[in-house]
Structure 1
Amino acid sequence: MTEIQRYVAFSADPDGGNPAGVVLDASGLGDEAMLAIAAEVGYSETAFVTGRPAGAYRVRYFSPLTEVPFCGHATVATAVALGPGDHLFVTNAGEVPVSVTAGVATLTSVPPSVTDLAEPDLAALLEALRFKPADLDTALPPRVAYAGAHHPVIAVAGRERLAALDYDVPALTELMTARGWITIQLVFRAGDTEFDVRNPFPVGGVYEDPATGAAAAAFGGYLRALGLTGDDATLHLRQGDDLGRPSRITVRLVAGEPGVRVSGAAVPIEE
């Protein structure tokens, strides 16, 4: 019988954060079985440790509808489930080192990248989100950011626009599927180093993620690449408040380090 653990990540409160399933021994499971388990668990992602190559853990991530190359909150949850110390995860996106201390995990993403968001794609994305060009913050231009998975970054000029999120699910799902986007990183800059974010995730069968570590890493890479923050900076992301599941994500950029560090707490969900 497969043991499925349940954690919330990016919160020390089981009623906050983003729930993740964790299977520490999935060596005997095939793709269909892992997808079925993820669908049954019903969280935005479940992480499966499918093997243990020398000094590392082979980890795969499934949403209720599909496999994703990398998932930050399920990585945090899995690392905390493994216990204190340094761990190396081998994911579909590459190697991701994770350290755990006192119930807080810090992952270091694969090297991020940022690409332009084509004008037709931006227009289609805004239409699906029911956003207007006037809603956008011109200081944070639209781009597609990557740190293990692709996430368009769309910044709004007012916090109330995030609170009023109500998107066209079929249209956004079709666009994201066609472009290979995992979530949409919707951002409001609340201060020099503070951001409120929301992440639609319809391609995974979830309307919205309460916390998205992969998108947080990609966003850190975006800010650095566009010169919108220093090469050495600590950023604080608030997510999940609009869903009643407050999540707190710390993003650390270290000068000379290609990857982006993402930190957060994780605690088990009691049955």
Structure 2
Amino acid sequence: MAQQELDMELDKFRSFIGEALAEGGTQHLINFTDEELAVLDPDSLVEVVAPTPHLDAMSDTEREWVLATALRSLVARDLVEVQNIEELDAVLNASSQDGAEPGAEQAEGPGTASGATLKMKTSPEVDLALVLRRTAGHIVVAEQQTVRGSIHALVYVHARDLLLVERITGGGMHIFTLASSATDAAEMLHSLTDPFGVADEDGPVRRLDPQALDGAGVGEALNNAIENALVVTQLVVLSDPPGSLLTTYATENAVWTVLVDKPHDPKGITARSVGTRSLNRSIRDLILAKGE
């Protein structure tokens, strides 16, 4: 099928899902672990920007075993139907009789066992999550950093009324939500930027000089927020051309934002303390930055 025809089919698919969301509103779609996603879409480990923190911490041997367990979990949850289960059982039994551990032979890749290619049929909600994850017009990536580690979220933007939000815990759980508006998606990212609920009121906008981003250059109030921040969150628009970058600093009693309009823009860096409404509006604007 030609690329133009594929694009037309994708547009129809987006329109259909968008209409369904308009009726039901924002709704949870599905949850996966790192290893379940690796079984379902192994290429995404290098082709999708979403991190896999639990899987990344494992050795190759550990990965092989958890992938096998993940497949069992997917089957048990009725998310996957293995269509060549007899072939896989035969290969695993042969390996056991030869004295080798299951999975000890060279596999063809994630989702395979001992050289036998896995043939799977996935459920509609699995297909929907994987398709929307790979075909977004642009993506907003958020990373929250604290002394306890990092939490991530990604917003895959398909249309104003169709967004896929993927929230990733430090333990490698991926929580997928279908959002019917950028406002709803922004509210889901709000907890990453203001986990203590201290965003109170808006302060004046301060334009920063990119050549003087030290303590004196940014001003005492912002410098204190940066030095005393308990949570730092970065949100960046991945698009072509590259989009804006929003950094938030949450202290015990305030939230500050620093917005870079465009990469290497000598004039587009602004900072301010924000209230809840302005913080959500900044995140929403970031989500809708492309084409607005």
Do both share a fold (TM > 0.5)? no
Largest Rg, 1 or 2: 2
Normalized against structure 2, the TM-score is what? Answer: 0.27
Greater share of helix: 2
Q: Where is the strand percentage greater, Structure 1 or Structure 2?
A: 1
